[in-house]
Amino acid sequence: MDKILLMLQLQSQLNDATNGEDWTKGLTKTGKTINWKRCIYMECAEMIDSFSWKHWKSINAQADWDNLQIEVVDVWHFIISLAIENYSQNFKGGIEDLAINISEFKSFRVIDVQGNTFDTQDTVIEKVENIMRISLNNDSLDIENLIQEFFDLVVMSGLNLESLYRLYVGKNILNQFRQDNGYKDGSYIKIWAGEEDNVVMKRVWEKNSNIKPDSLYKELTKLYLALNKS
């Protein structure tokens, strides 16, 4: 449960910094509407593009599992944001209560022990599209079902709780780095020497499994400054 609670806390802090402390009411500090469900299904569409699903183009291309895993983590950011908002608006409890409930899901016990095995392209896409269907349902929100379906996707994508946690923390730090370096006003450079910053962040994590979040931020800063000097 500790890793789930920490991810929820980090996401809440990031949302506070990015959108203002009243973001759970569905509005940013500038009054712009927040739609976490739309964020989810739009990211899911990007996730599907990790596969050669088009029957008319690049039909023999290999699946980009590394990109899929990054997209899975991006979706997780939005799912837990939606869950925190849902618990707040419906008086279900705070972040700690949400973490306890998530840790009791049967699918959570699966991601706590499994990982490293990819499912087939078609079954992964089917699971992603099911998550999209849940997020597109305007009649009601079954947040528990959404999270459990997501945990199924985690396992199918070759991840487990530990790898999901590590990638989440890495992406959380990258998101904060982006905000601190002009992401909102459009001045941030997302492609670093021909590679997307997501890929660079993931490689830094993989090269040093013991790196701390603040050290990761410093390493990203060093790489970004070197990019701007070149």
- Reported confidence tier of residue 185, pLDDT bands at 50, 70, 90: confident
Residue 185 in any domain: the answer is no
Give the separation between CA 217 and CA 201, rounded to whole angstroms: 9
Residue 127 in any domain: the answer is yes
Give the separation between CA 89 and CA 24, rounded to whole angstroms: 7
Residue 150 confidence (pLDDT): 96
CA-CA-CA-CA torsion sign (20, 40, 147, 69): negative
* pTM (predicted TM-score): 0.86
Task: Domain of residue 57: give its range.
Answer: 2-164
Residue 192 in any domain: the answer is no
For residue range 27-42, list pLDDT tens digits in order. 999 999 999 999 999 9
Residue 74 in any domain: the answer is yes
Residue 174 in any domain: the answer is no
Residue 88 confidence (pLDDT): 94
Is the pLDDT reported for residue 155 higher than 90? yes
Over residues 156-173, the mean pLDDT reads: 90
* 44-82 residues labelled b (16+ CB within 10 A) or e (exposed): beebbebbeeeeeeeeeeeeeeebbbbbbbbbbbbbbbb
Residue 33 in any domain: the answer is yes
**Percent of the chain surpassing pLDDT 90:** 57
| Sequence-separated (6 or more) residues with CB below 8 Å from residue 75 | 40, 43, 44, 47, 131, 150
Residue 108 confidence (pLDDT): 86
Residue 197 in any domain: the answer is no
Residue 145 in any domain: the answer is yes
Q: How many domains does the chain have?
A: 1
Residue 230 confidence (pLDDT): 55
Q: Look up the CATH number of the domain holding residue 20.
A: 1.10.4010.10
Is the pLDDT reported for residue 83 higher than 60? yes
Residue 226 confidence (pLDDT): 87
